[in-house]
Chain A
Amino acid sequence: DTGVSQDPRHKITKRGQNVTFRCDPISEHNRLYWYRQTLGQGPEFLTYFQNEAQLEKSRLLSDRFSAERPKGSFSTLEIQRTEQGDSAMYLCASSSRQTGTEAFFGQGTRLTVV
């Protein structure tokens, strides 16, 4: 068990550019979550997948954000036309039927929009 893996760890981009992050969950975990965390705040829920189906989506997830989980394995989170307000830590977590709602987090991707 290698834990939840996120790539890249850090990303600096210019305003208006598109960025894509990848998350590889713990193997055999069928549930995958994306959260966003800004400095001094707790993580905020963005979206949730069970296998390949996106079952829950936060109002925070504007039209510029899209997440996918093809084949129910890894997931990608894309942000189009980035804005400075998108600067944050993007966290991925996974869980399984056995772990229930106990989610295990990756190390996150730190996005800085300049």
Chain B
Amino acid sequence: EDQVTQSPEALRLQEGESSSLNCSYTVSGLRGLFWYRQDPGKGPEFLFTLYSAGEEKEKERLKATLTKKESFLHITAPKPEDSATYLCASVATGFQKLVFGTGTRLLVSP
């Protein structure tokens, strides 16, 4: 069965302290790997889709990368407004549903 595991569960950073979030996936044929941001009490907000190993995408302070087994979300010089839960999800070939990990709760202190 397809599975997504995220680590760490929670991460506390000082403003400006760069770090990476990990997403390990097991899927029978990857159609896409997705990153979402979720603020408390709100729905997930789409960030990135990665389709093949070696692909990278960037948006402001965020950069997502993909290997055959893992994806990383790199956060460069984070700000307090980057505090949120970051969710990773996979979609298998031939399917439409997203399989989510449990997320990484990021807190950035000023």
A residues neighboring B (CB under 8 Å): 4, 6, 31, 33, 35, 40-45, 48, 50, 55-56, 58, 91, 93, 100-108, 110
CB interface residues, B 50-100, toward A, < 8 Å: 87, 89, 91, 95-100
Main secondary structure of the interface of B (DSSP, over half): strand
Q: How far is the CA of A48 from the CA of B98 in the complex (A)?
A: 11
Q: How far is the CA of A43 from the CA of B98 in the complex (A)?
A: 9
**B24 within 8 Å of A (CB atoms):** no
Residues B100 and A103 in contact, CB atoms below 8 Å apart: no
Residues A48 and B43 in contact, CB atoms below 8 Å apart: no
Chain A to chain B contacts (Cβ below 8 Å), 15 pairs: A41-B102, A43-B44, A43-B87, A43-B98, A45-B99, A56-B96, A56-B97, A58-B97, A100-B32, A101-B49, A105-B36, A106-B43, A107-B42, A107-B43, A108-B42
Q: 9 closest A-B pairs (Cβ-Cβ)?
A: A42-B100, A105-B43, A45-B97, A101-B91, A105-B44, A107-B43, A108-B43, A101-B32, A48-B96
Q: Which residues of B contact A93 (CB under 8 A)?
A: 43
Residues A102 and B46 in contact, CB atoms below 8 Å apart: yes
| Number of interface residues, chain B, beta carbon within 8 A | 24
B residues neighboring A (CB under 8 Å): 4, 31-32, 34, 36, 41-46, 49, 87, 89, 91, 95-103
Residues A31 and B96 in contact, CB atoms below 8 Å apart: yes
Q: How far is the CA of A50 from the CA of B96 in the complex (A)?
A: 10
Closest to A44 in B: B100
Residues B46 and A103 in contact, CB atoms below 8 Å apart: yes
Nearest CB of chain B from residue A77's CB, rounded to whole Å: 15
- Which residue of B49, B95, B102 is within 8 Å of A56 (Cβ)? B95
Closest to A57 in B: B97
Closest to B43 in A: A105
Residues A102 and B49 in contact, CB atoms below 8 Å apart: yes
Residue among A50, A56, A103, A108 facing the most chain B CB atoms (10 A cut-off): A103
